[in-house]
Amino acid sequence: MKPAEYHLTENPRLQRWCGGIGLAALLLCAVGYAANPVQFHHSWLAAHFFVISIALGALIFTMILHLTGATWSVPVRRLFENLAAPMPLFFILFLPVLSGVHELYHWSHGEAVAKDPLLQLKAPYLNQVFFAVRTVIYFAVWTFLACRLRHLSLQQDEGDDHSERLRRTSAAGVILFALTLTFAAFDWFMSLDAHWYSTIFGLYIFSGCVVAGLAAVILLARHLQSRGHLVETIGIQQYHDLGKLLFAFTVFWAYMAVSQYFLIWYGNIPEETIWYHHRWHGSWKVVSLLLVFGHFLVPFVLLLTRWAKRNLAVLAGFSIWLLFMHWVDLQWLVMPSLHKEGFVFSWMDGTALAGCAGLYLKYLGWLLRRSALAPVGDPRFEEAVDMNR
């Protein structure tokens, strides 16, 4: 086996550029902040969550794979672990949101709350201090889980067997993850419209994260393989299985989206329908329809086939497409509270995304170079790799 199989030594040019592009974009964002803080904060919230949702999807998958004791997925698990690990970076990148609560959230305006009995009722939950405390808790939980899972897994490379500890961490982790992500979804996105509420909202955000995490892992695996790594480790069977999961969670996303939309449409209570009304106004209507077709119907029909899941170019294409749709989904969730008349693409959407993604990729590249690209010490590793032969 070639040494390159499990080790990334070179620092490709693209990788080197990521950090620079990210920092440059951050500088532009600072200009944007000075020019239009409200737009900046909305752009930043959507862009930040787009990138962290990849990490969150990867984190939940790492835990699920430990809990189910799956063998097929062992060769790709390190990629999930690495995708999830840059959580501390995300906390730092979230600071602009914490500083921009006033620009983003109507409930933080004292004079608005004074006139609004509903917001007064919600004030024990929706207030700036508790919001910040909760955010710190979410990041603490995610950072702890992502770092511990990766750390234990790396120790296995040295020959220790931590399977049991990994399982235990994952079991508690899944519960902590479900709670933190649900409340993060309520806090960051649902409370943008402080009057509106939906019990499925946490699951909706979760489903988007999983799709993003799976799409990213497929792309990362393809990228590494194209550079000559993991070539004999990750085979068509893994891609096929990842493709099936991508398909399944695309359907799951649609199931969540339909459950929410459909029940609100049918109940037809104004305080609930208003949220969709905003998203059916002006060009938001087009974005809504784009999600129906682009995030569900088209990928559903095409990814259903065995051919699409086993044709790596097609699978990678769908991964990119679904990541794009996930970005559209987040725009659709965040922006109607700012641009009520229709979808507007701000240059800050671009720079915020480039900033967050650039630093994330830089961090990811650094993590990838620091350790083996696959959990070579996992007790099931040999068996899993054998399956590809």
Per CB under 8 A, which of residues 331..350 are in contact with another protein?
none
Q: 3-state SS string over the chain?
A: CCHHHCCCCCCCHHHHHHHHHHHHHHHHHHHHHHHCHHHHHHHHHHHHHHHHHHHHHHHHHHHHHHHHCCCCCHHHHHHHHHHHCCHHHHHHHHHHHHHCHHHHCHHHCHHHHHHCHHHHHHCCCCCHHHHHHHHHHHHHHHHHHHHHHHHHHHHHHCCCCCHHHHHHHHHHHHHHHHHHHHHHHHHHCHHHCCCCCCCCHHHHHHHHHHHHHHHHHHHHHHHHHHCCCCCCCCCHHHHHHHHHHHHHHHHHHHHHHHHHHHHHHHHCCHHHHHHHHHCCCCCHHHHHHHHHHHHHHHHHHHHCCHHHHHCHHHHHHHHHHHHHHHHHHHHHHHHHHCCCCCCCCCHHHHHHHHHHHHHHHHHHHHHHHHCCCCCCCCCCHHHHHHCCC
Is residue 14 close enough to count as binding another protein by CB under 8 A?
no
Binding letters toward another protein, positions 357-386, x by CB under 8 A: --------------------------x--x
Question: CB-wise, 191 or 371, nearer to another protein?
Answer: 191
Is residue 105 close enough to count as binding another protein by CB under 8 A?
no
Binding test (CB under 8 A) with another protein, winner from 102, 122, 134, 369:
122
Binding letters toward another protein, positions 265-284, x by CB under 8 A: -xxxx-x-------------
Is residue 255 close enough to count as binding another protein by CB under 8 A?
yes
Q: From the CB of 68, what's the least distance to another protein, in Å?
A: 9
Is residue 243 close enough to count as binding another protein by CB under 8 A?
no
Is residue 137 close enough to count as binding another protein by CB under 8 A?
no
Question: CB-wise, 9 or 386, nearer to another protein?
Answer: 386
Question: CB-wise, 353 or 385, nearer to another protein?
Answer: 385
Site residues, another protein (CB under 8 A): 71-72, 117-119, 121-122, 125, 171, 175, 178, 182, 186, 195, 197-203, 255-256, 259-260, 262-264, 266-269, 271, 383, 386-387
